[in-house]
Structure 1
Amino acid sequence: MKIIHVVNPLPRLVSGALADRLAVMPAVVVTGARQTGKSTLAEQLVAGERSYRTLDDFDVLAAARRDPEALVGGNEPITLDEVQREPSLLSAVKRAIDRDRKAGRFLLTGSANLLLMRQVSESLAGRASYLTLWPLTRREQRGLGSAGRWEALLNTPDQGWRDLLATGDGHREDWRALAQRGGFPTPAIELSNPAERAIWFDGYVRTYLERDLQDLATINSLPDFRRLMQAACLRLGQLLNQTELGRDVALPQPTVRRWLNLLETSYQLVRLPAYAVNRTKRLIKSPKLYWGDTAIAMHLAGAEPQGCHLENLVLNDLLAWRDARVERAELGYWRTTLGEEVDVVIEAGGRLLPIEVKATASPRLADCAHLRTFRAEYGSKARAGLLLHTGTSVEWLTADVLAVPWWRVL
């Protein structure tokens, strides 16, 4: 057994949410892609000492398989790291909680979405609260422990947005540099040049393919799986068409579907659903495809930063913000049969906030067209449109569309 002590890494956005949940629920489950900082977060946030066991340790993994009751027994708070490596352990956790529902007893972390894993039969319903740890947001990388100014935008009347965003803690930088370093703590914070990061990204992908995937499913051809990843990363920001994707990599559609689900389960791939008033229609419309980390996506695709990567950066920040909230917000994109499209729509508090992302320093009136169409479609339910660009000006391009630099929001 290893005892962990509190350290002082960068503050994380979910810190408050995790502490609140540990004070209420017998178990809290923190999931996210490998190397997002889950173990470090567990060390940072838990006051005092608690026992720590990781299933990356083969002895602990063997114990989890041989005698899970003994592993989770005892009255002291315990952190179990990488629990997806032995899903049956959750049944032992359930039984332990049913004997003693003391708050904060279990802190579980995993590098896969346990609720999407077929091997997981125990969801800990009513016993656990779930949190997702996404890669570092830009503000987390700056030591601010937060996401973009989405909460402030939602809480400020539309007419006050310009004053809100023209001032404050905006820190200008080249979005391409942010996209290329991504949000994983090691390449984003500790590595200083592209060559070092390329070595890290290559090792990350190899580890993911050769080890982490084997915890989730049997892949009969890792080269084919890697080609699918590369093809997906070349389609960021596009509607997901599994048949076309399969043709590109010479794989049958059922295989593409299964492997994309694995990528989503392990927090590599992100599907952004369509927004529609009818929630059933959201489920049947094609999602748009993005990646959990822009730097990994560009490494896999061998691509330079493009407009889709700026969209992906904004979405990554929104995902981190959304999943740290107590009150759930929904994210989607909006598209008409005529091809009119809004990149992201935030649905929160019964209102809609449409966002368009443009990799241009000089937004034009024409860039507002789809935002204004959206507002006309949804009337009083829609907030003013937000057009994020790469320049420096904060201005109302029309009475209902505010153009603002991306770095004043993220």
Structure 2
Amino acid sequence: MPKLFSRSLAEEIRKRAHQFPILAVTGPRQSGKTTLLKSLFPDHVYVSLENPDIRSFAEDDPNGFLQRYPGQAILDEVQRVPALFSYLQTAVDESGQMGQYILSGSQNFHLLKNITQTLAGRVALFRLLPLDHDEMEQAGILPGTYAEACIQGGYPAIFHRGISPADFYENYIRTYIEKDVTELVNIRDTQSFRTFLGLCAGRTGQLLNLNAMANECNISQPTAKAWLSILQSSYLVFLLYPYHENFNKRLVKTPKLYFYDTGLVSYLLEIREKSEILTNRLKGNIFENLVVSNFMKINEHRYLHRHYYFWQDHNGLEVDLLRKTADAFEAYEIKATQTLTSDLFKGLHHFAEIAKPATVHLHLVYGSQESLTRSNTDVQGWNACFP
């Protein structure tokens, strides 16, 4: 990757290269994994298992394959050769060398399945997602408005190769569906899957209702569940689960659906101009997705291991993002408006009241770039680099 971008995860990976024999970096296609690893480990031999000849060699003769790379190697798309993992275990146990093999892959399900089965305790796991706001700010490419940020998204190629978001995301979807999806599951009607992907975009920031999505897409509920799992394992979407501590209220127990990248959401919703974001009926949902996904990216890129939730009761009062610490809650309300009114703080204050005697630190993230304090609440602009 050009020097324009400094990835926060780089330092975390570098630290643990001296503590684990194997490092594994997953994340969506085009998030910059290969470029990052090559820059971090210039002395490692780079081997792509996307190459049919190399993959065939690794499948037919795993021992011979690893003997060809006995020192240090980056094995890209390693999930394509599941049999290799057992041999990797033997190789690192015998050598005792730290940072010997760097594994990379864009299919989380297959990669993690093989790691947990054969490499537990020997590997440090990382996720490299599209650029977070802090990384974009450091590189001088963070857009001036949230509407522009929602459309551009955070995939590095859009910025350093000067590709328009529309061109990038159309080709990204085509490649993803034609390559990854067809490999993960036998989908004959790829148009139905693309329709399902679009339905997910239309429900971003909302409670997950698989039955409704299945009916609208004319597929079975089990198929919808399987397809959603594919989107999760490919790092396109994630689920945010509700916080379940009983505050003597009937609580919603269904997760919310979000995308890791709002540029993809906007493209799927056929939003091409930033002015269209401001008038779209899903503006609030897209803005919420922008903020929540940025928390998730920073959590992964800084290797914080934090757990986030949302809270909502059956009266509709909610907290959009919630984190429980040892002695308090961090509660976030997320609103696209640039005008502060007392109604915006209602859910936060309600939660703080029913959570007593626990301490609740209140935060409001809104569509402006100005940060201030109001009603005992930390008010932050959408572009703030959250802890």
Query: Residue in 1 aligned with 2:167?
Result: 199
For the residues of structure 1 that align with 2:81 and 2:325, how far apart are their CA atoms?
A: 36
* Equivalent of residue 84 in structure 1, options 79, 87, 92: 79
Q: 1:350 to 1:265 in 2, by over 3 A?
A: farther
RMSD: 2.3
Query: Residue in 1 aligned with 2:209?
Result: 241
Query: Residue in 1 aligned with 2:218?
Result: 250
Structure 2 spans left out of the alignment, 5+ residues: 247-251, 278-282
Query: Residue in 2 aligned with 1:113?
Result: 108
Query: Residue in 1 aligned with 2:31?
Result: 36
2:267 maps to 1:296: no
Q: 1:31 to 1:314 in 2, by over 3 A?
A: same
* Equivalent of residue 15 in structure 2, options 20, 28, 34: 20
Structure 1 spans left out of the alignment, 5+ residues: 1-5, 146-170, 279-283
Give the superposition deviation at 1:393: 4.2
Q: 1:272 to 1:205 in 2, by over 3 A?
A: same
Give the superposition deviation at 1:292: 1.6
Give the superposition deviation at 1:118: 6.2
How big is each residue's C-alpha offset from its partner over 1:358-388, in whole Å with a ceiling of 9 and x where there is no partner? Answer: 1111121111010111112223544321111
SS in 2 for 1:183: coil
For the residues of structure 1 that align with 2:262 and 2:8, how far apart are their CA atoms?
A: 19
Query: Residue in 2 aligned with 1:174?
Result: 145
Query: Residue in 1 aligned with 2:280?
Result: none
SS in 2 for 1:142: helix
Query: Residue in 2 aligned with 1:346?
Result: 323
Query: Residue in 1 aligned with 2:47?
Result: 53
* Equivalent of residue 405 in structure 1, options 372, 381, 387: 381
For the residues of structure 2 that align with 1:394 and 1:8, how far apart are their CA atoms?
A: 30
1:324-335 alignment, distance < 5 Å: 324-335=301-312
1:336-375 alignment, distance < 5 Å: 336-375=313-352
Q: 1:387 to 1:353 in 2, by over 3 A?
A: same
Query: Residue in 1 aligned with 2:176?
Result: 208
* Equivalent of residue 263 in structure 1, options 223, 227, 231: 231
How big is each residue's C-alpha offset from its partner over 1:257-292, in whole Å with a ceiling of 9 and x where there is no partner? Answer: 0110011011011111111237xxxxx921100112
SS in 2 for 1:384: strand
Equivalent pair of 1:28/1:104 in contact (CA under 8 Å): yes
For the residues of structure 1 that align with 2:355 and 2:118, how far apart are their CA atoms?
A: 37
Query: Residue in 2 aligned with 1:167?
Result: none
For the residues of structure 1 that align with 2:189 and 2:156, how far apart are their CA atoms?
A: 30
SS in 2 for 1:379: coil
SS in 2 for 1:135: coil
How big is each residue's C-alpha offset from its partner over 1:72-127, in whole Å with a ceiling of 9 and x where there is no partner? Answer: 23431110011122222222212212222311001101002146766777351011
Equivalent pair of 1:116/1:265 in contact (CA under 8 Å): no
For the residues of structure 2 that align with 1:348 and 1:115, how far apart are their CA atoms?
A: 32
2:91 maps to 1:96: yes
SS in 2 for 1:122: helix
Give the superposition deviation at 1:214: 3.0
For the residues of structure 2 that align with 1:172 and 1:200, how far apart are their CA atoms?
A: 18
SS in 2 for 1:274: coil
Identity of aligned residues (%): 28
Q: What TM-score comes out, normalization by structure 1 length?
A: 0.84
**Amino acid corresponding to residue 320 of structure 1 in structure 2:** K
Aligned length: 370
Q: 1:393 to 1:324 in 2, by over 3 A?
A: closer
SS in 2 for 1:97: helix
